[in-house]
């Protein structure tokens, strides 16, 4: 119907033009952003699925990073065990050297000192090797759980310090080991000589007096060793450390002196002034010092190393040390191997996580990313429709003027 009050053709053309323009606007948004879904209204279900996939990809990427960090931790520990390997080889060499009868006891004592220093360094390595504050070599960490998303990989740590590396036994030499001096009598050799005062032993401290003018008492705190005992070398170190902190003493006052008559090492105490030092030995039960003899030395012999203990000062002890070091090497090798195959497992897990994250990312991409070729075809179509709509709207707006011709 020809009418001037309403123009249905114009309204229809305008409506179709609006729809084409909206479609064209959506195509431009998708092509400019690269995403098929820019808001929930574009594809509500697709957005819900894609967001879940995207969160899973982020989780897998972090799990992969966790695995890489775990590998770094194990590599740190494995590197430390590599250094221990060199030390244990040298200790084995020393034990083998001391096991032959061609060396004197004094020479074996030098080997024993180096052997113990190397054992101490193994303990130092075990205690100082950490990763973000966590150690896998000193027994402070029982196990570590590496979370890689789908499940945990448990790694059980071990204690590889000198006291535990040989299948729970110590690789240190146990010669000259004694319990701490207990409360007892004051023992004096003669006026002006070195003596040990027992007046302050009840709290685990030992006073050593040298009766030199201007020099104070050397007080040694041995509380921490009261239960386990202390080796002669460690006792010498403790006494000298205490002396260095005491006014008047500029050098060592304690020594591990070799006694050819005794056939072993004794504790020797002497001041920094000229004068002969006094040599002491501990009782077999090692609970007290029983007294001086006429020469100024204690009349008790030093307790021998326990049966089967490491002691490079004797051929038998050196042979035992050799067996102990062999056990330590086997323990270290087994632990190092565990570090290695755990790293291999972590590497495989990280590789799988990378593949899963890649595949899931591709699946999420197919949902959210725009297919440029298809969208360009859609855009071309909507452009043509929009241009046609504009042309038809212009024609429809001219239709009411036809009615004017009938009024002429």
| Res. 370: pLDDT tops 90 | no
State the CB neighbour count (10 A cutoff) for residue 72. 13
More confident residue, 76 or 7: 76
Homologous superfamily of 53-174+311-357 in CATH?
f41 fragment of flagellin, N-terminal domain (1.20.1330.10)
| Res. 272: pLDDT tops 80 | no
Virtual CA dihedral for 109, 115, 119, 125, nearest 10 degrees?
130
Q: What is the pLDDT of residue 207?
A: 63
Q: What is the pLDDT of residue 109?
A: 85
pTM to 2 decimal places: 0.58
pLDDT digit string (tens) for 169-194?
A: 788 876 533 322 322 333 333 333 33
| 176 and 233 Cβ atoms separated by less than 8 Å | yes
pLDDT digit string (tens) for 133-179?
A: 899 998 888 899 998 877 789 999 999 998 888 887 788 876 533 32
| Range in 199-213, 220-234, 325-339, 363-377 with the lowest mean pLDDT | 199-213
CA 195 to chain centroid, in Å, comes to 47
pLDDT digit string (tens) for 228-261?
A: 555 666 777 787 888 888 877 777 777 665 555 5
Provide the pLDDT confidence category of residue 401 given band limits of 50, 70 and 90: confident
pLDDT digit string (tens) for 319-356?
A: 888 989 999 999 999 999 999 999 999 999 999 988 88
Q: What is the pLDDT of residue 185?
A: 32
More confident residue, 215 or 173: 173
Question: Helix/strand/coil (H, E, C) string of the chain?
Answer: CCCCCCCHHHHHHHHHHHHHHHHHHHHHHHHHHCECCCCCCCCHHHHHHHHHHHHHHHHHHHHHHHHHHHHHHHHHHHHHHHHHHHHHHHHHHHHHHHCCCCCCHHHHHHHHHHHHHHHHHHHHHHHHCCECCECCCECCCCEEEEECCCCEEEEECCECCCCCCECCECCCCCCCEECCCCCCCCECCCCCCCEEECCCCCCCEEEEECCCCCCCCEEEECHHHCCCCEEHHHHHHHHHHHHHCCCCCCCCCEEEEEECCCCEEEEEECCCCCCCCEEECCCCCCCCCCCECCCCCECCCCCCCCCCCCCCCCHHHHHHHHHHHHHHHHHHHHHHHHHHHHHHHHHHHHHHHHHHHHHHHHHHHHHHECCHHHHHHHHHHHHHHHHHHHHHHHHHHHCCHHHHHHCC
Cβ within 8 Å of residue 105, ≥6 positions away: 258, 263, 264, 313, 314
Cβ within 8 Å of residue 42, ≥6 positions away: 26, 36
| 178 and 289 Cβ atoms separated by less than 8 Å | no
The C-alpha atoms of residue 143 and residue 342 are separated, in whole angstroms, by 13
The C-alpha atoms of residue 360 and residue 353 are separated, in whole angstroms, by 10
pLDDT digit string (tens) for 111-131?
A: 988 998 999 999 999 999 999
**Residue 49 exposure: Cα atoms within 13 Å on the Cβ side:** 13
| Range in 104-108, 177-181, 374-378, 392-396 with the lowest mean pLDDT | 177-181
> Which residue ranges does the chain devote to CATH 1.20.1330.10?
53-174+311-357
More confident residue, 328 or 266: 328
Q: 388 burial class (0-12, 13-18, 19+ CB within 10 angstroms)?
A: middle
Among 2-6, 69-73, 228-232, 278-282, the range of highest mean pLDDT? 69-73
More confident residue, 20 or 343: 343
More confident residue, 379 or 214: 379
């Amino acid at each position: 119907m020809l009418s001037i009050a309403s123009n249905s053709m114009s309204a229809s053309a305008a409506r179709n033009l609006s729809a084409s323009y909206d479609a064209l606007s959506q195509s431009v948004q998708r092509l400019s952003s690269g995403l098929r879904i820019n808001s929930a209204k574009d594809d509500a279900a697709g957005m819900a699925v894609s967001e879940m996939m995207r969160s899973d990809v982020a989780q897998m990427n972090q799990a992969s990073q966790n695995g890489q960090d775990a590998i770094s931790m194990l590599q740190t520990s494995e590197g430390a065990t590599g250094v221990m390997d060199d030390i244990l080889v040298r200790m084995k060499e020393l034990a083998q050297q001391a096991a032959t009868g061609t060396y004197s006891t004094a020479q074996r004592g030098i080997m024993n000192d180096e052997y113990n220093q190397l054992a101490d360094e193994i303990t130092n390595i075990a205690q100082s090797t950490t990763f973000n504050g966590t150690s896998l070599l000193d027994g402070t960490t029982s196990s570590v759980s590496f979370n890689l998303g789908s499940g945990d990989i448990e790694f059980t740590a071990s204690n590889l310090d000198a006291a535990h590396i040989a299948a729970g036994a110590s690789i240190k030499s146990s010669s000259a080991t004694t319990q701490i001096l207990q409360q007892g009598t004051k023992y004096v050799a003669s006026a002006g000589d070195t003596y040990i005062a027992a007046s302050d032993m009840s709290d685990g401290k030992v006073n050593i007096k040298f009766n030199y003018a201007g020099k104070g008492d050397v007080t040694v705190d041995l509380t921490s060793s009261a239960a386990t005992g202390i080796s002669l070398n460690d006792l010498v170190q403790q006494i000298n450390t205490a002396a260095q902190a005491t006014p008047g003493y500029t050098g060592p006052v304690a020594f591990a002196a070799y006694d050819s008559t005794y056939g072993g090492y004794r504790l020797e105490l002497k001041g920094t002034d000229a004068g002969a030092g006094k040599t002491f030995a501990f009782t077999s039960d090692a609970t007290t010092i029983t007294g001086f003899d006429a020469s100024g030395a204690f009349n008790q012999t030093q307790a021998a190393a326990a049966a089967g203990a490491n002691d490079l000062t004797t051929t038998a002890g050196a042979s035992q040390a050799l067996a102990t070091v062999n056990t330590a090497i086997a323990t270290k090798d087994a632990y190092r191997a565990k570090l290695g195959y755990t790293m291999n497992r972590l590497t495989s897990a990280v590789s799988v996580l990378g593949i899963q994250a890649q595949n899931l990312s591709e699946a999420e991409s197919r949902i959210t990313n725009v297919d440029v070729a298809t969208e360009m075809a859609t855009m071309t179509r909507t452009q043509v429709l929009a241009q046609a709509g504009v042309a038809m709207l212009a024609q429809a707006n001219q239709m009411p003027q036809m009615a004017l011709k009938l009024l002429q």
